Amino acid sequence: MGAKKQLVLMASVCLVLVFSASSLFAQKKPIELNWVSFVSKNMYIYKVVQECFIDKVNERAKGELAIRFRGGPETFSPFDIPKAVQSGVVDIGTTFVGAIEPIVPGVQGDMFTRLSLDEERRPGGAYDFLLDTYKKGGLYYFGRGLHEKQGFFYTVLRNKRVERPEDLRGLAMGGTTAAQAPALAWGCTYTLIHLSDAYSALERGVVDALQAMPASGYKYHSIYEVTKYIIYPPIYCSTVRVFMNLKSFNKLPRHLQDLMVKTFIEAEKEMALKGEAIEVGEFRWMVDNGHLEVLKFSPEDTKRYLDAAYNGGWEYQQKRFPEITPKLRALYSK
């Protein structure tokens, strides 16, 4: 073989190797998604989603899929996250359900659930209904970031000890929008306050009570310094939700879609256990260290206290979203 032919042959072999390597590299390059959180990386809610869901998806995808953290509230405000996910600016988001309602109307009603996670995911049940509802807003609904069996939001009192639910009547209750319904159902007056202002509002006596946070929130914001009592049990379910841009989800190969869904169903239970353990620990810290005294009603009064909160919540949602609320209430009630 002449030198020229050998040169041509070698060049051809090199080209084949280059194209083969390029093709192999292209095949191994992972699909990249990004996610954002409404809380910062030092908060446990971020950590449980990252560790229980994101990390496990990345591990199980074996290089086919890589989900990266893009930022917390310093990147997108909690209320902007659903819009960012809907538009595809980011692929996956986690925030509270009240921020999602402008895009998926009425879904905040799921915070009044009385069901277990397994009960919610029965075929044709509550989860399936919510999934279809989220899809109408351009989102794929994975599920709950946290789910506590005993409830999530506590009522704390500045200096008035109450013996029965009726003793709450006339108190000035502060809180977020979601706290309005139980406050009014208990006969309180209601003042909408930003959580960052809660400490000063209680300290100055602007409000007599607060219904807005889990135990971890009361500890984080040092609310126990300006209150004396905490009512047990808490009400409602955590409002943290995890969701994805629907187009991004639909573009994934079917086996990766299945992997993400299966991993989240497992993660949802794991996150619930870890979150509940943390919340119980924060509650016990405030009580055991003498910062707050626990107030418990009789079983009959406790039932009336809880029923008023849940019925009031559903009635509030009914006024705002009359089309979807009856269906949600039927699905999420036992």
φ, ψ of residue 90 in degrees (nearest 5):
-130, 160
67 within 8 A of 142, measured Cβ to Cβ: no
| pLDDT score recorded for residue 4 | 53
pLDDT of amino acid 150: 80
Q: What's residue 16's pLDDT? A: 44
pLDDT score for 22: 47
Report the pLDDT averaged over residues 18-25: 45
196 or 290: which carries more pLDDT confidence? Answer: 290
Out of 112-121, 171-180, 238-247, which region has the weakest mean confidence (pLDDT)? 171-180
Q: Across residues 34-58, what is the average pLDDT?
A: 96
Of all residues in the chain, the percent with pLDDT exceeding 90 is 86
The predicted structure's pLDDT at residue 13: 43
Query: Mean pLDDT score of the chain, rounded to an integer?
Result: 91
Q: How confident is the model at residue 17 (pLDDT cuts 50, 70, 90)?
A: very low
Q: How confident is the model at residue 149 (pLDDT cuts 50, 70, 90)?
A: confident
Instruction: Judge whether residue 11 has pLDDT over 50.
Output: no
pLDDT at 148: 83
Task: Report the predicted TM-score, pTM, of the whole model to 2 decimal places.
Answer: 0.88
Residue 65 pLDDT > 60, yes or no? yes
Q: What is the mean pLDDT of residues 180-205?
A: 93
CB 160 within 8 A of CB 242: no
pLDDT, residue 203, reads 96
Residue 81's closest CA among 43, 13, 35, 149?
A: 35
Q: Would you state the torsion angle of the CA atoms of residues 50, 51, 54, 60, taken in this order, to the nearest 10 degrees?
A: 170
Separation CA 217–CA 154 (nearest Å): 10
3-state secondary structure of 279: helix
Calculate mean pLDDT across residues 124-144.
97
- The domain limits of the chain are 31-148+239-277, 153-235+297-319
What is the pLDDT at residue 334? Answer: 79
Fold of 153-235+297-319: D-Maltodextrin-Binding Protein; domain 2 (3.40.190)
Predicted confidence band at 10 (pLDDT cuts at 50, 70, 90)?
Answer: low
pLDDT of 192 above 80: yes
Q: For residues 53-84, b (16+ Cβ closer than 10 Å) or e, as one string? A: bbebbbeebeebbebebbebbeebebebbbbb
Query: Is a pLDDT exceeding 60 seen at residue 39?
Result: yes
Cβ neighbours of residue 56 under 8 Å, at least 6 residues apart? 263, 266, 267
For the residues 245-249, what does the mean pLDDT come to?
98
DSSP state of 50: I
- CA dist 21 → 9, 84, 314 (Å): 18, 37, 60
Token pair 């039927």 is found at: 330
User: Considering the domain 31-148+239-277 in this protein, what is its CATH number?
Assistant: 3.40.190.170
DSSP class of residue 238?
Answer: -
pLDDT > 70 fraction of the chain, expressed in percent and rounded: 92
